[in-house]
Amino acid sequence: MASRRDFLAHVPLGVAGAVAAYSNPSNARAESAPPSATGAPTPLPVPQNGPVLQFTPKHEELVYTFGGVKPLKRIQPNTRIVTWTEDCFDGAVKTQRDLPSKVMAPGHDNPQTGPFFIEGAEQGDTVAVHIIKLEPARPYAVSSCGPGFGALVPTDQTAVLGPDLPETTWRYDIDVKANVARAKSQDGRHSWSVPMAPFLGCMGVAPAGGEVRTTIVPGPFGGNMDCPEVRAGNTVFLGVNVPGALLSFGDGHYAMGDGEIMGAAIEGAMNVEVVVELIKKKFTAVPRIENANEVMFVGSGRPLEDTARGAFRAMVRWVREKTGLTELDAYQFVSQTAKAPIIQLVDPEYTVLVKIDKRRLPT
């Protein structure tokens, strides 16, 4: 989710998490992943028989930045984390009458569960987060819009004449059996349903150089990417910038259209299960998402064309590494095979996803 609020990207949040050591009884290598459900990605191999951390954070343990926060838990590589995340509205918006600016504490957008200190993680390594399960944790979700908030309104970076849109909230009721979220128009005369496709809007590590970033912003560290491919069955690869990586995640989305043009998805709390793997001495400079059949890169930035360029360049380099093609041949191959949906146009940095089918790589 993006935010209508001004943000300060370099202000540490003084929330100290309790630090708990977690042992690793088994460090077994990855085994074959179970078959995927219909319509779900076929996963990469997932490390098996690692330690399990079952953890539900208290509200006061949630954090609102990437970096600048003490770790809440310490984990060994290959730990399976079974946990819960709050929605982007900090749990404060529950009904159509609740306006975020009236019920939310300032700076409490996109609360994160974590950070998790990964033992042995060092700058130059990569964290691979295998997403095992994401399930809605509430029977409802919410969405909203507000002044200066969204892709089709004036913002602080796109100034136009004309009135702002009024702050408005929609509540979605979840039909688990039909796997849809249902909402009504503001006057109650119309209704619609949206198929659910749960994913995490935020997943990231601490940025490089001691920087502290608000949970509103995406970047090379991950963060508020709002990418629907951060879903069960996929693995997210993030480069480690600081000791322990300091992984955190949250901002559950039950569904979202490409572009997230109104500034919010169908936002809800989420039950989360992930396995955190550590890949030593191999750095991931641009967030990568992968399953057995696809590889994807998430570019973040402005303007939009530079955002896409960053993700496409990362893809060309990946194809060269995997195939041995020259740069020009790899460029040609990516040009003819890649898909590049616009993920969101509302955060301080836009995001574009570039993906290819790995089965089409030249041999």
DSSP string for 112-152: EEEEEEETT--TT-EEEEEEEEEEE-SSEEEEEEBTTBSSS
Nearest to 297 by CA among 351, 231, 363: 351
Q: Which CATH number fits domain 30-283: 3.30.200.20, 2.60.120.580, 1.25.10.10, 3.90.930.12?
A: 2.60.120.580
The mean per-residue pLDDT over the stretch 223-248 comes to 98
Q: Give the model's pLDDT for residue 40.
A: 85
Confidence of residue 348 (pLDDT cuts 50, 70, 90): very high
Q: Give the model's pLDDT for residue 1.
A: 62
Q: Give the model's pLDDT for residue 329.
A: 98
The domain defined by 295-360 carries CATH number 3.10.28.20: yes
Burial bucket for residue 319 (CB in 10 Å: 0-12, 13-18, 19+): buried
Burial bucket for residue 283 (CB in 10 Å: 0-12, 13-18, 19+): middle
What is the rounded CA–CA span in Å between residue 330 and residue 343?
A: 24
Mind listing the pLDDT tens digit for each residue in 243-259? 999 999 999 999 999 99
Q: Where are the domains of the chain?
A: 30-283, 295-360
Mind listing the pLDDT tens digit for each residue in 87-140? 999 999 999 999 999 999 999 999 999 999 999 999 999 999 999 999 999 999
Q: Which are the contacts of 319, defined by CB distance < 8 A and separation ≥ 6?
A: 325, 330, 333, 334, 356, 361
Mind listing the pLDDT tens digit for each residue in 165-207? 999 999 999 999 999 999 999 999 999 999 999 999 999 999 9
